[in-house]
Chains A and B, each alone.
Chain A
Amino acid sequence: MHLDLFGRKHRIYVEEAGEGTPLLCLHTAGADGRQYRALMNDERVTRRHRVIAFDMPWHGKSSPPSGWHNEEYQLTSAHYTTMILDIMTALELDRPILIGCSIGGRIALHLALEHPQAFRAIIGLQAGAHVDPYYDLNFLHRPDVHGGEVCAAIVSGLVGPDAPDAERWETLWHYMQGGPGVFKGDLYFYKLDGDIRGRVTQIDTSRCPLFLLSGEYDYSCTPEETLAVAKSIPGSEVTIMKGLGHFPMSENPQEFLKHLLPVLEKIKGR
């Protein structure tokens, strides 16, 4: 899809499957839309939902915009919000259900606060209001450390212990394939720019239902952090998913669907 974003020409790669209520999927930092491959291939989801996942610019098959070679990529809350809303407009999506994981879960909170009318419901996976940096992010992008290897190694422990090997290692492969500095640029949003601690309490779930699902083994956005966010937002519904980690839809789709399908049923009933 060709699209002008932030005043620049972009080519955005979009995948979709199924028919029905649009379900717009946001991938994690440093990865791409393949994380939602299982949702797109599960008839229980696709028979009632049009599942759509796009690769953010710089990610997956969405190349960076012309001129990228002299820039440092940094994702901001403003760009992330604009990107999602502009892609929704371009795809003519009418009040989709939004599902986002990690950075996608964080921006889901921003959207729940600032654009509740644009969504039928919002599902935040591994959604916390803020994460403090806990290692030197420069290690993710420097010539004497292999970017793909280190990005995957940084996140490998975020996969839950029960993930099937095939799904675990595919999830990590996506990280190994990220472009130089892209994971780091996404983390600028996750750890610095996207801090929403002071404002989450203003989210009005009567305008847009909010569901928060977090994996037990996520030490980046811990269950405690998700529970704290849920507690501060009246009307939000929270689930802690046993045995799962930071990439539920990708690391262990079958377990994740046990938690997601009831949420989709609830949204349908509203």
Chain B
Amino acid sequence: MIEALKARVNGDEALVRRGRFLTTTFLLEVGQTGWLISIFEGRVMSVTSGPFVTPSSSFALRAPEQEWEKFWSSRPPPGSNDLMALIKRRVLKAEGNLQIFMANLRYFKEALAKLRSAGEAA
């Protein structure tokens, strides 16, 4: 499912344009499963699943599987509709160099919301 990110993000011209100054690799953890997501100038270049021996990333987003499932449902319930809502409830941990995450917060929110069943924006 996470692999779909590449086509869905890259297929959204406006999102890619807003990410044109963003080049990074970040780690997404869905429960025990990790994914390294590489972005070059707003385009997702690769989505690689773990386990990793020595993963290298600018920052990591970690939440239990059931929390991501709610976040990725077509109409997420209150408290699960946004990355900041998950952070507020202390179920999503954002760790690492968060300057990259915060400077591109709208991009990351909208990119990850692409994995919702209906592909809705955040």
A158 contact set on B, CB distance < 8 A: 82, 84
A222 contact set on B, CB distance < 8 A: 78-79
B40-80 near A? 1/0 per residue, CB < 8 Å: 00000000000000000000000000000000000110110
A219-B88, A219-B89 are known contacts. Are A157 and B105 too (CB-CB below 8 A)?
A: no
Please tell me if B106 contacts chain A, counting CB pairs below 8 Å: yes
* Inter-chain contact A161/B81, CB cutoff 8 Å: yes
Which stretch from B2-10, B25-33, B95-103 is at the chain A interface? B95-103
Please tell me if B87 contacts chain A, counting CB pairs below 8 Å: yes
Provide the bound-state CA to CA distance between A158 and B78, in Å.
Answer: 10
Give the Cβ gap from B104 to chain A, nearest Cβ, in Å: 8
**By DSSP majority rule, is chain B's interface helix, strand, loop, or mixed?**
helix
A134 contact set on B, CB distance < 8 A: 84, 87-88, 90
* Inter-chain contact B88/A153, CB cutoff 8 Å: no
Counting chain A CB atoms within 10 Å of each CB, the highest count among B75, B89, B102 belongs to: B102
Of the residues B81, B98, B105, contact of A153 by C-beta under 8 Å = B105
B78 contact set on A, CB distance < 8 A: 216-219, 222-223
* Inter-chain contact A219/B79, CB cutoff 8 Å: yes
A149-B106, A150-B105, A156-B122 are known contacts. Are A136 and B79 too (CB-CB below 8 A)?
A: no
17 additional A-B residue pairs with CB within 8 Å, beyond A149-B106, A222-B78: A136-B98, A144-B103, A145-B102, A145-B103, A146-B103, A149-B103, A150-B102, A153-B106, A154-B84, A154-B105, A156-B106, A157-B85, A218-B78, A219-B78, A219-B88, A219-B89, A223-B78
Q: Which residues of chain B have a CB within 8 Å of any CB of chain A?
A: 75-76, 78-79, 81-85, 87-90, 98-99, 102-103, 105-106, 109, 122
